[in-house]
Amino acid sequence: MNERPNILFINTDQHSWDAISAYGNPYLRTPNIDELHRNGTSFRRSFCTDPVCAAARSSWATGLYTSETGVPFNGGYVHPEIPDLGQLLNAGGYKAFHCGKWHVPGRNVRKSFRALYYGQRDIGAGGAAYYDSASTHAVADFLTNYDRDDPFYLQIGFVDPHDVCEYLHNHEEKHIPNPLEQGIISEDDLPPLPENFDYDERETVLHRVCRRVDDALIHAAILKGIRGWDERHWRYLRWNYYRFIEKVDAEIGRVLALLRETSLHHNTLIIFSADHGEACGSHQMFQKFTLYEESVRVPFIVACLGEDIPVEKDRFDETHFVSGVDLFPTVCDYAGIDVPERVQGLSVRPLTEGRDAPWRDYAYIESNYWGRAIVTDRYKYVTEYKPKAVEDFQPPGPDAEQLGLAQLFDRHDDPGETENLTQDTAYDEVIETCREKLFAQESRLHRQQIVHPSPKRVISNWGDRLRGYWRHNE
């Protein structure tokens, strides 16, 4: 391997960990992501830091958790003093390029990176149908013209399958007939309902207020629009979701083919991941924003299509908990750049090369500012902080007194997360262990007060609703 390889970070948006045909999903075809798996290591225990675009992406950009970055939901702003990956790579002698979706509010991608393509109307949350093909063209132009000796870092942010959000928005205000009755599709074409379609209603207050109640804080209009959905509508949602993934897989295919054709594949490390997943009917839920597996667990593949970079190929890593914060130190490791002291993540490079490395034994995830989860080998513990009586805009934790409700799932016996075990005293010790991990992790964070007025407004408004709920129910 050359001392400093090219690094290509391909990311999709809202792509659940198991929506890949090489992983055994029979309801879609992803030959190109499959090729990445055959040429690399797939980390099966990979989790986003926060199941929403801007928040998760702020972790990619900084190597920090979202209560540190200033982006605890889509409306946040990255604290200005935090260095981002583009700045670091450029300072370290790499040419850092960006193409496609960025969605890290508070950080100008055109200043941190050289932008190959970012849209006439800057790419925001969605719009794959407009942007993804143009992104591929931009990358094609880049790869076929790159004749420099110095290595590049290129991140390609494809928007799909995020357009499934627009599919759902389409149901807000109008009735769309059942596609089977319309003759558009046959019953046999539709994937089945997920096994965890039914769920345990003992969820956290945060989850219910954000996603379940009629006037939910997030996407209440969609919730209202799909109230009357029958089983086939849910299955048709899944069918559509998989088509979006096939679309983006085809775009990835063109990029990989051009990488081979230009012979850049020999010395190019490829990292493939997604910012967060998609519920897609599990727990009768849609989109992300929840701490359930489908929403927080994402693909993470490290690959090389050539032989110059040592990467264990065609291998599943079922052991190590990988997080969105690990992208930053992994890229820095391959680039030979020192990682800033505050970065929380770990480089997966030794794992990719088949070497042992000290590693965490859990994943830590945040959601909607107050939500928290710890995923261990056996259990997932989900909890929430109650909003403070007087909001100080300091992201909460660690604070046992302020914890609200919780969920505990046995990942071995109940992988679909359908039975909340918190009320069974036999699990008190498990819960205590998970809480210890949670608080230990949070005590290592450099949480900073949110100062930007826009996210402060969201925290105030959401906090009011949550406080109202707690007042009436305690």
Partner 1 sequence: MNNSNLLHWSFDYNYGAQNPQFAQELIETLRGYNPKVGARDIQTAQTITHIYNVLPNYWCGYNRGGNTETLSIGRVIIQRSKHDNLWHYSVKYENTTSGENLQMQFCCSDEDYRPLRDNWSVDARNSANDEYSQVACAGYLTSDSEVRLRINGAEIAAGTVDASVKLTCNWALFDVIPTLARTIQASGDGIDIAVLEDLEQLRRKSRLGFLESTQTPIPLEGYYLYGVGLLPSYWWLDAHGNIAIASTFFETLVLREKTGDSL
Binding site for partner 1 (CB under 8 A): 29, 97, 99, 114-121, 124, 126-131, 133-134, 137-138, 140-145, 163, 166-167, 169-170, 172-177, 179, 182-186, 240, 243-244, 246-247, 249-250, 254, 257-258, 260-262
Nearer to partner 1, 87 or 262 (CB): 262
Query: 336 in the Ramachandran plot: left (φ > 0), alpha (ψ -120 to 50) or beta?
Result: left
Nearer to partner 1, 239 or 393 (CB): 239
Question: Residue 291's closest CA among 399, 406, 442?
Answer: 406
Tell me the closest approach of the beta carbon of residue 297 to partner 1, in angstroms.
24
What tokens appear for 178 in the block?
């059942």
Nearer to partner 1, 88 or 116 (CB): 116
Nearer to partner 1, 145 or 473 (CB): 145
Tell me the closest approach of the beta carbon of residue 35 to partner 1, in angstroms.
13
Burial of 427 (0-12, 13-18, 19+ CB in 10 A): middle
Please say whether the dihedral angle defined by the alpha carbons of residues 464, 465, 471 and 474, taken in this order, is positive or negative: negative
**CA–CA distance, 302 with 312 (Å, rounded to integer):** 9
Tell me the closest approach of the beta carbon of residue 79 to partner 1, in angstroms.
26
**CA–CA distance, 26 with 20 (Å, rounded to integer):** 9
What tokens appear for 433 in the block?
């262990």
Q: Are 272 and 33 in contact (CB under 8 A)?
A: yes
Nearer to partner 1, 278 or 417 (CB): 278
**CA–CA distance, 376 with 267 (Å, rounded to integer):** 35
Tell me the closest approach of the beta carbon of residue 22 to partner 1, in angstroms.
16
Nearer to partner 1, 111 or 378 (CB): 111
Question: Residue 380's closest CA among 341, 347, 399, 406?
Answer: 406
Cis peptide before 5 (omega within 30 of 0): no
Tell me the closest approach of the beta carbon of residue 34 to partner 1, in angstroms.
14
Nearer to partner 1, 281 or 398 (CB): 281
Q: Are 248 and 158 in contact (CB under 8 A)?
A: yes
Tell me the closest approach of the beta carbon of residue 38 to partner 1, in angstroms.
17
Q: Are 347 and 372 in contact (CB under 8 A)?
A: no
- Residues sharing a CB contact under 8 Å with residue 442, sequence separation 6 or more, in sequence order: 67, 372, 397, 398
- Residues sharing a CB contact under 8 Å with residue 354, sequence separation 6 or more, in sequence order: 312
Tell me the closest approach of the beta carbon of residue 236 to partner 1, in angstroms.
10
- Residues sharing a CB contact under 8 Å with residue 181, sequence separation 6 or more, in sequence order: none
Tell me the closest approach of the beta carbon of residue 256 to partner 1, in angstroms.
9
Nearer to partner 1, 147 or 413 (CB): 147
Nearer to partner 1, 260 or 313 (CB): 260
Tell me the closest approach of the beta carbon of residue 229 to partner 1, in angstroms.
15
